[in-house]
Amino acid sequence: MSAYYPVFLDLTDASVLVIGGGPVAEGKVDGLLAAGATVTVVSPTVTPRLAGWAAAGRIEHLARAYEPGDLARRRLALVATDDPAVSGAVAAEGRARGIWVNAADEPARCDFILPAVIRRGRLVVAVSTGGASPAAARAIREELEGYLTEDHGVRVEMAAEARADLRRRAVSPSPARWRGALDAGLRRLIADKRYRQARARLARNLESA
């Protein structure tokens, strides 16, 4: 089993190819669109949701099977079919071109794997078992979903606002000061939706002597 290096990719405007048009492909496209990627789907048929995105111009749909050369000028390729011959051919083309490929449920043909993801605003938590058990990763994600609420996303947003303000004023609190500022008192104010008081507390704690 490979030891994977966890990383978050900036795919804004990156050309990504998804091969397959079923529910698994739909889930992959959904995540890619959320990341700002430019997505092309290659599949003779697609789900109604994928068809709707294509009709709205959110994705490009090539209504045919994969052909050698489809990976040219792509940043990534994701395979979501149940045909090992297709995933093998895409993986081979990707490696020849130096393009990363992910093949659903085939770790041996993956240059990277997709974790189970939880999103709360700008907070993104990824859970991976390194391909050993996607089912276990999903189960753990579901457990964490019950713990990670929208309040966590609000806390991240407030921290981002405070950081931007401090950087404009060339103020650099230490990591220890940040840890202390993001304390239980701040969390209680956010939970009570007392956002103005929460922002004031955060700013005060970050700049106090």
Return the ∠ at Cα 184 (arms to 181 and 186), rounded to 5°.
60
Residue 207 pLDDT: 86
Q: pLDDT tens-digit profile of 68-90? A: 999 999 999 999 998 999 999 99
Q: Provide the whole-model pTM.
A: 0.81
pLDDT in tens, 1-55: 567 888 999 999 999 999 999 999 999 999 999 999 999 999 999 999 999 999 9
**How far is the C-alpha of 125 from the C-alpha of 115, rounded, in Å?**
9
